[in-house]
Amino acid sequence: MEFLSNYIYYIGAFGLIFIGLFIILVKHNLIKVIIGIGILDTGVNLFLIAVGYISKGTAPIFSKAGLDANNMVDPVPQALVLTSIVIGVAILALALSLAIRLYKHYGTLDLRKIKEQRW
């Protein structure tokens, strides 16, 4: 049980990563693949947060006397995650807009049928 509580975030993060990869690999619908990318991204972000997280830790600000620096949550991953979320959003937005254009051209979002560019 203690194992689970210690590693739940990592398990969750890798769970999301594998789910995301699985969707990208298996699903044929472009929208679903984009959702997979989103999930994959979220998993990685969660992992980054989990790296810096300390359970029952405090914010990394010396606002009160007596705060233990060892008990503070690492601020760097949080900053990273903010950046990476922004990047993820940009990718999702671009992907969705491309999906709309693609649908206009092909009339379908089935990736098995969108194979004009090959060989």
Partner 1 sequence: MVNPILLIVVPLGLAFALPIVNLISKKIIKYIPVLAFLFNLILSLLLIPKVLEQTIIVKIGGFHPPFGINLFVGPVGILFSTLIALAGFLVSIYALSYIKEGPKEKYHILYLLLLTGATGVVLTGDMFNLFVFFEILCISSYALVAYLGNKAGIESSIKYLIQGSVGSSLLLLGIGLLYGQLGTLNMADIANQINSISSPSIFVPMIFIITGLGIEAAIFPLNAWLPDAHSSAPSSISAILSGIAIEVGLYAVIRVIFTIFNASSFLMFFVFLGVLTLLIGEMSAFSQKNIKRMLAYSSIGQIGLIMFAISLNTQLGISAGFFQMISHTLGKGLLFLSVGFLIYKTGSMKISSFEGIGKKMPITSLLFTIGAFSIVGLPPFAGFASKFMIIKAALTTGQLLFTVLIGVILLGTVIEGAYFFKVIQSIYFKGTTDIIKRDEAPLIALISMSIFVLLIIFIGVYPDFIARILNSAASEFINRIDYIRSVLG
Partner 2 sequence: MSLELLLIIAFSGAFLTYLSGKISSQLRDGVAVLISLGLVAIVSFLYNVQTETVFYQGFFGISLILRMNSLAWFFAIAIVSFTALCIIYSLSYMKDCERSNYYYFMMLLINASMLTIVLAGDLVTFFVAWEIMSWSTFLLISYNRNGALQAGIKYIVLSLIGSMCMLVGILSIYTSFGTVNIADVANHLTPSSVGYKLFLLIIFSITFGIKNAIMPLHTWLPDAYAESPSPFSAVLSGMLTRMGVFGFLLIMYVIVGMKTTLHLGRGFLSFNTILCWLGAITIVIPTFIAMLQNDAKKLLAWHGIGQGGYMIVGIAFGTSLGAAGGIFHTLNHATYIVLLFLSVGAIEYSTNGLRDLNSLGGLFKKMPIAFFGGLLGISGLIGVPLTNGFVSKWLIYKTLILGNAPFLAFAALLGTWGTVLSVYKFLHNLFLGQLPEEHKEIKKAPLTMQIPIVILSFTIILFGILPGLPLKVINSIIVAAGFQALDINIWGVTSETGTLNMLNIFAAIAVFGAIFWGIFKVARKSTPVDQYDNYAAGAAVPKNKYHYTVEYYAPFYRMGKPFLKDIFDMFYNRIAEAIGSICDSVRKIYTGYVGSYVMYIVLFIASLIFVQLTWSIF
The yes or no reply on residue 73 touching partner 1 (CB under 8 A) is no
The yes or no reply on residue 23 touching partner 1 (CB under 8 A) is no
Nearer to partner 2 (CB atom), residue 56 or residue 115: 115
- Burial per residue of 104-113, b for 16 or more beta-carbon CB atoms within 10 angstroms, e otherwise: eeeeebeeee
Nearer to partner 1 (CB atom), residue 67 or residue 114: 114
Nearer to partner 2 (CB atom), residue 3 or residue 119: 119
Instruction: Give me the least distance between CB of 91 and partner 2, in Å please.
Output: 15
CB atoms < 10 A from the CB of 58, how many? Answer: 15
Q: Which partner in partner 1, partner 2, none is near 106 (CB below 5 to 8 A by kind)?
A: partner 1
Binding flags for partner 2, 78-117, as an x/- string (CB under 8 A): ---------------------------------xx-xxxx
Look at the block and give the residue holding tokens 């969705």.
Answer: 96
Q: Report phi then psi at 74, rounded to 5.
A: -65, 125
Look at the block and give the residue holding tokens 């009339």.
Answer: 107
73/95 Cα distance (integer angstroms): 34
